Amino acid sequence: MEQPPVTSLNDQLVLDNSYVNDTSRPRTLTNDYPLKKSSTTPNKLRVKAQYSENGIVSDLGVEKRKVYQYKQANGIMVFSDQQPLDADYQVLLYECFACRPDSTIDWYKIPLFTSHFATDVALAAHRYQLDPALIRAVIHAESVFKPGAVSKAGAKGLMQLMPGTASDMGVDNPLNAQQNIRGGSRYLAQLLAQFNGDLDLACAAYNAGPSTVTQYRGIPPYPETQAYVKRVKILFKRYQKALAS
C-alpha cells in the first residue's frame, strides 16, 4: 500500500504495519537546514573526510545535520556543527531521528512501539543480557522502527548499522530485522562492557563512536550526540514503564 507523503513531524510518527516488516523499501533523507557560522577562526589544516562511520539516520526522521571536520595545527581532529569562517574543512552529514538539538518533538509523549519485533527483541535481550526496553529505545532513536531505513552515510536498518559494524557483528543483511536487531544489540552490549556499564557513554559511543568517547573522556561536545544520549535515556525509561505495565 502506497504511503501518503510526509508533510510534518506528526506525520512522521504515524506508522502502520506496512512499515514494520522485512520487505520495506529503503528510504533516504534529503532534507537540510541552515547553520550559523562560527565567530572563531582557529588555525586548521585541510584533511580528507568522508561520511562518518558512525553517522546514524532515521528514514523518516527528517533530521539531518552538517558537521564540519578539520584538523588543528596540533594534530587533534575536531568536529563542530559551526562552519569556520577562514579555514579549510570537510563536511560530514550526521543524520539521526533523535539527534537534532532543536527538534520540536516531545520525547516524553512521542508514541511508543512496545510490540513491534517482540520475538527478535526478546531473543537479543536474553542473548546479550540487555534490557529489552533499552533495545527498543535505541531502535526508536535510530530509525523509529523502520527496518528499511538507509542513511546517506550507508547506515542501514532498525539499529542503523554501518557496513563495517554489521560485518563485525556477523550481520549479512542489515535490512533484515532479525539480523539487524541481533547485530545492533551485540554492538550495544559490547559498548556497555567497554565503558563499564555506563549507559551515557555507551549511547554516546553508539552515536559518535567509541574512540571519540575515549578521546573526550566522556560524552563528546557535539550537540547531536548530547541530544541523542538524553533522548535515548528518556525513551528507555518510558519503555521500561510501558513494558512493565
Q: Which residues are catalytic?
A: 142
Bridge-partner residues for 67, per DSSP?
92
- Report the SS3 class of residue 210: helix
Amino acid at 166: A
Q: Give the CB-side neighbour count of residue 222, counting CA atoms within 13 A.
A: 29
Amino acid at 6: V
Cell of 95: 543524520
CA angle at 129 for the pair 106 and 17, rounded to the nearest 5° = 45
Give the span between the Cα atoms of 161 and 57, in whole angstroms. Answer: 10
Looking at residue 7, the DSSP 8-state letter turns out to be -
What are the respective helix, strand and coil percentages of the chain, to the nearest 5? 40, 10, 50
Give the span between the Cα atoms of 167 and 13, in whole angstroms. Answer: 30
Residues 105, 166, 243, 148: is their CA dihedral positive or negative? positive
Is residue 206 exposed (0-12), middle (13-18) or buried (19+ Cβ within 10 Å)? buried
Looking at residue 3, the DSSP 8-state letter turns out to be P
